[in-house]
Chains A and B, each alone.
Chain A
Amino acid sequence: MSDIHAHSVAFVRDTQLPPAPPPVAETGVVKWLRENLFANWANGLLTIAALYVIYLVASATVPWIVRGVWNTDSLAQCREVLDGVSGACFSVISERWNQLLFGFKYPSELYWRPSLAFAMLFVAAAPVLFFDLPRKLLIFTGLYPFIAFWLIWGGSILTPIVALAGFIIGYFVYERLVTGSFAAGFFGGVATAFAIWFIGGWIIPDGAGLLALEQVPSRDLGGFMLNMMLGVVCVSLSLPLGIALALGRQSNLPLIKGVCVVFIEFVRGVPLITLLFVANVMLSYFFPPGSGVDLFLRVVIMITMFSAAYIAEVIRGGLAALPKGQYEAADSLGLDYPQAMRLIILPQALKISIPGIVNIAVGLFKDTTLVSVISMFDIVGMIRGPILASTEWNGVYWELFMAASVLFFVVCYGISQYSQWLERRLATDHR
């Protein structure tokens, strides 16, 4: 056998060939290009067309941005400097940057206060967002709303302290009474808190000077700060409210169920802008002049109601997605309703609902720009009103709205990345 073989074959290699590099077309950039961009002639055509479009857009915008002027005093000067060449006039952003961030009425020597509150927001939000962090940080999260209120609005530190005391004492009363019945605990706690606030408001003299910061009225808030404040406050308030509404809608008690259904359906059936007009225009008819509720608070209430209704429906979807066995398992373990919800149902339902909730949070944050139509000067209101109406900057659009979209994009992209991390972190199914 081997003889025949030796005779029929002229040459037999008895050493192994050295490994050769793969063919050029099957490796590195070329392979990637071939497989992804030019897999067949149709894809190749599309790629070339897309490249051409990208070239068109970039050749118009990149020189426009690169040639941008950053340090003139007015649009007319910008045009002089550019001298007929197309280029951006970013001077408006450098001159009005503080107004874009803080509005035009927040005292400039006090900018450090909202900036500090913003920096502290990260510390306060961290333990809520990343649960690997030490739990003790949550104490700071609890204190944060009061600190931020004091920093941004100013005034005596006694006001937030009394507000905090009301919450804490109310909670202790609730703890004591809740063992008897939930209703007694709930209403007892609420009543105590109100009593503390009432007495506190009565005791604190007007203009008390203890650690008083210069007061800034709500009307003076503005710019991107206003968007951030509305976004953060409304999202954090509407999440618990939305959970409560979603559970209420599934309740067996007809009254609670009815109230929740009517609330959700009514709020979902009305555009947000209508609610904002009600907050701004209608409510001032109902209150005597000068004694109305603060406009910022009115807007917060309206936006919170609005997003709570949507979040409730998203969470209801999560609740509906759970197999009936989960509810029955909780019952068979002998858990009562709050325990079953807290330990078994909600953790699963909320996990399913994360993409939906984040979707609404991002949408809500962007919807805060709607307040510009009720003459509040958020970042869009600042651009459309005072900045474009000034004699120096009348006629600058792209640069300003680009700045606004960059600010919004950074925040919204951050939220979306966080939610994706959270979904990976919570993934318990074994794929």
Chain B
Amino acid sequence: MKKSLFLGALTVAGLAASAAAAATLDEVKARGKLNCGVTTGLVGFAAPDANGNWEGFDVGVCRAVAAAVLGDPTAVEFVPTTGKTRFTALASGEIDLLARNTTWTFSRDVDLKFTFVGVNYYDGQGFMVPKELGVSSATELDGATVCIQTGTTTELNLADYFRSNNISYEPVPIETNAEAQQQYLAGACDVYTTDASGLAATRATFEAPDEHVLLPEIVSKEPLGPLVRHGDNEWGDIVRWTLNALITAEELGVTSANIADMASAAGNNPEINRLLGTEGTLGEMLGVSADWAKNAIAAGGNYGELFEKNIGEATPIGLARGLNAQWTDGGLLYSPPFR
């Protein structure tokens, strides 16, 4: 039995990866748990608290997908991954979904054979310098030593930006954000560069945040989003539309506070009705229950609530919505319609 299973799995894996992957939804349902890859710890995006419960913005996406598919936001097995192990974990099937502030790039999408289902945070690479350095623009950084995390897109962006501006620099490679903070504070590098959200979070933890400035230049586009393997479009659709449901809910004013009311009976707004399953058969088309979006939104609130609770201005990280506002507020969040 076990041998035939093993041989069967080998054959399937060898001959048709799509056939093995096509059943992700069934696998998740049979397992009763969603295996969701997250970071080993990034302030505001994913970190376990003192009781070992995962919290954060990316964690919110995992919980919403689990709620949509299984009806239970706690039915998630969080698999912590590092920058180096995240892609193999997804490719080998160890995780069903990777929600780990991963930048959507051409080569990751095409060459590594993943499907980015959307963007849950628009970020961009920035620079932080000590105020006493007297630098007001990244173009004045000639000859500076720069702390960068290895194995990330920031490393490549930095090289591109400095080369195109004919600036010389000396990179100081570091492994984690925590290490970078310490190196930067100890003066091992003049500049720390990473995603602007990370810089803001890092600066917020300093003893004297006022002594450091973020330079105005944003040198890259970093659309961060959840991703799945190529080859299982049904599963990709579920994750994509769960994310879209969170964004649409904010646009339509559906919150975790009023969702029970709104979902109890069909209301005046047909799009809300379709979203929450009181009208139409969207859930059925997706292969999940009719109240999937209601569960997803009830899990942690809509996009705006997740943002405010984990990384918004009321938290120590204190990020403004910026590009991540709804398109109606001048941001880039624009979910396709639910119809």
Contacts and interface: CB of A to CB of B under 8 A. Distances in A.
B43 A390 contact: yes
Interface stretch (B110-118, B201-209, B280-288): B201-209
Interface in A93-109: 95-96, 99, 104-105, 108
Given A288-B10, A291-B5, A388 B178 contact: yes
B5 A394 contact: no
A240 B40 CA distance: 36
B88 interface: yes
Nearest to A388: B178
Interface in B76-130: 79-82, 84-85, 88-89, 92-94
Given A75-B205, A284-B88, A291 B43 contact: no
Interface residues of B, number: 46
Contacts of B50: 95-96, 99, 390
Nearest to B91: A285
Contacts of A281: 84-85, 88
Interface in B5-58: 5-6, 9-10, 12-13, 20, 39-44, 46-52
Nearest to B202: A394
Pick from B41, B42, B49, B84 the residue with the most CB of A within 10 Å.
Answer: B41
Given A374-B85, A388-B178, A395-B206, A284 B42 contact: no
Contacts of A284: 88-89, 92, 94
A405 interface: no
B40 A389 contact: yes
Interface string A64-99: 000000000001100100000000000000011001
B289 interface: no
B80 A391 contact: no
Nearest to B11: A288
Given A285-B88, A375-B81, A377-B80, A290 B93 contact: yes
Contact of A288 (B9, B85, B176): B9
B258 interface: no
A385 B40 contact: yes
A145 interface: no
A375 B175 CA distance: 13
A386 interface: yes
Nearest to B86: A375
Nearest to A74: B316
Interface in B308-334: 315-317
Nearest to B179: A384
A205 interface: no
Given A385-B80, A386-B41, A390-B47, A76 B316 contact: yes
A286 B128 CA distance: 43
Interface string A284-319: 110011110000000000000000000000000000
A76 B316 CA distance: 10
B205 A288 contact: no
A397 interface: yes
Contacts of B165: none
A36 B80 CA distance: 55
Contacts of B206: 395
Pick from A105, A284, A377, A394 the residue with the most CB of B within 10 Å.
Answer: A394
Nearest to B176: A384
A373 interface: yes
B256 interface: no
B182 interface: yes
A280 interface: yes
Nearest 10 A/B pairs, CB to CB: A389-B41, A288-B9, A289-B93, A385-B40, A395-B205, A385-B41, A389-B47, A104-B52, A388-B178, A394-B205
Given A389-B46, A394-B201, A394-B202, 10 more contacts: A95-B50, A288-B6, A289-B92, A291-B5, A291-B6, A373-B82, A375-B79, A387-B41, A389-B178, A395-B207
30 contacts: A75-B205, A79-B207, A96-B50, A104-B48, A104-B52, A108-B52, A284-B92, A288-B5, A288-B10, A289-B94, A291-B5, A373-B175, A374-B85, A375-B40, A375-B80, A377-B40, A377-B80, A384-B178, A386-B41, A388-B41, A388-B178, A389-B39, A389-B41, A389-B42, A389-B47, A389-B177, A391-B43, A394-B43, A395-B207, A397-B182
